[in-house]
Amino acid sequence: MINRFENYPLKKHHTFGLDVTAKYFFEYASLEELLQILVDPLLQTHDCLLLGGGSNLLFLGDYKGVVLHSAIMGMEVIETNARSVVVKVGAGVEWDALVEWSVRNNFGGIENLSWIPGDVGAAPVQNIGAYGVEFKDVFVKAEGVYLASGEPFSIDHAACDFAYRDSIFKNELKNKVVLTFVYLRLDKSPRFLLDYGNVREAVEMLGEPSLRNVRQCIVDIRRQKLPDPGVFGNAGSFFKNPMVDVSVLSAVQADFPEVPFYTMPESGRVKIPAGWLIEKAGWKGQSLGNAAVHKNQALVLINKGHATGREILTLAEAIEADIRYKFNITLQREVNVVE
């Protein structure tokens, strides 16, 4: 059934938990319902926002257009061979429900991506990643429709231009397609990827590596570092880790020889953790109005209670200016600001 609402509260539909509304909010549970919505005259006269779990959005105020929200559900094995399965998943499925399902069925590949908020339909857009795994590592293809025409749309891995927290859906196809189903390939004989940080050590404390143990350990690490959006609204990492030339790293090393960095083999550039830069600049745990930098992970900005989107943006801009001044590095936002 299509749900249509006017002046609809978005507080529960995005993880910053801001008190904002959508002028119109349409929710569909199937491709057929989505196609009916796409011919609604309101879509000709209003802007449109595709909203998944809202885990990567910062609303600066009430949204004056039409919010489209997928409630297309379902997880189904559609292909199987000796080594792997292909799973078709509805865009409205909660990402972590998919991870839990895959672990329960002993399908490996996404256990390191446990406890990431958001819906499956948004995972390819952002190319979500954590603990040495990125969404692109399991992606096969996605289906959907063109927003303007309702024509069917299908895209394979190569065409998605996946990169670090980036894909064609944030660029050429931004606001042009609505994804309905995503197809993933998962392993029947899981290969455990435990080399990030202290993951191996933490998994071994729980016993033999197993999908269940890896999931448990990732959830525990995330719980320690990241604030629960139910308590302090947040959108995970607010900034991307900046990719810089080696000369920029050398300049930082001159003052801080201990700066952590990762070399990017393809480009020869280096990635410096933004959380480290923000902490070194003195922002960790600091507040500006009702917005704050999380005390356990400086990459995460939080809503302390009744923050507005503008307050959070003001904090983000202050941090960006300070990091530019202190390190000559420009931070890019991972979070999308919605006017």
Please give the C-alpha separations between residue 32 and each of 89, 173, 276, in angstroms, as whole numbers.
Answer: 17, 22, 47
Instruction: Tell me how far apart the terminal alpha carbons of the chain are, to the nearest angstrom.
Output: 29
- Specify the residue, 24 or 131, whose C-beta has the smaller distance to ligand EPU: 131
Q: Candidates 99-107, 151-159, 172-180, 293-301 — which segment interacts with ligand EPU by CB under 6 A?
A: 293-301
Query: In the stretch 220-259, what mask flags binding to ligand EPU with x, by CB under 6 A?
Result: -----x----------xx--xx------------------
The answer to whether residue 165 is catalytic is yes
Annotated catalytic residue within 165, 185, 215, 222 = 165
Q: Does 299 bind ligand EPU (CB under 6 A)?
A: yes
d(CA 175, CA 147): 7
What are phi and psi for residue 228, nearest 5 degrees? Answer: -75, 120
Is the separation of the CB atoms in 274 and 262 below 8 Å?
Answer: no
With CB under 6 A as the contact rule, the residue among 58, 85, 130, 252 that binds ligand EPU is 130
Site string for ligand EPU, 194-223 (x = CB under 6 A): --xx--------------------------
Helices (H), ranges, the chain: 31-38, 42-45, 95-104, 123-126, 199-206, 211-225, 246-255, 274-280, 309-327
Report, in Å, the least distance between residue 241 CB and ligand EPU. Answer: 5
CA distances to 68, 161, 181 from 2, in Å: 11, 33, 18
Stretch that binds ligand EPU, among 59-67, 169-177, 294-302, 314-322 (CB under 6 A): 294-302
Query: Is beta strand 270-271 parallel, antiparallel or unpaired with respect to 287-288?
Result: unpaired
Of 117, 33, 116, 118, whose CA–CA distance to 68 is shortest? 33
Among 260, 263, 306, 332, binds ligand EPU (CB under 6 A): 260
Question: What 3-state class would DSSP assign to 104?
Answer: helix
- What's the min distance (Å) between Cβ of 122 and ligand EPU? 12
Q: Which residues are catalytic?
A: 165, 237, 334
Query: Which parts of this chain interact with ligand EPU (CB under 6 A)?
Result: 130-131, 196-197, 225, 236-237, 240-241, 260, 273, 275-276, 279, 284, 297-299, 334
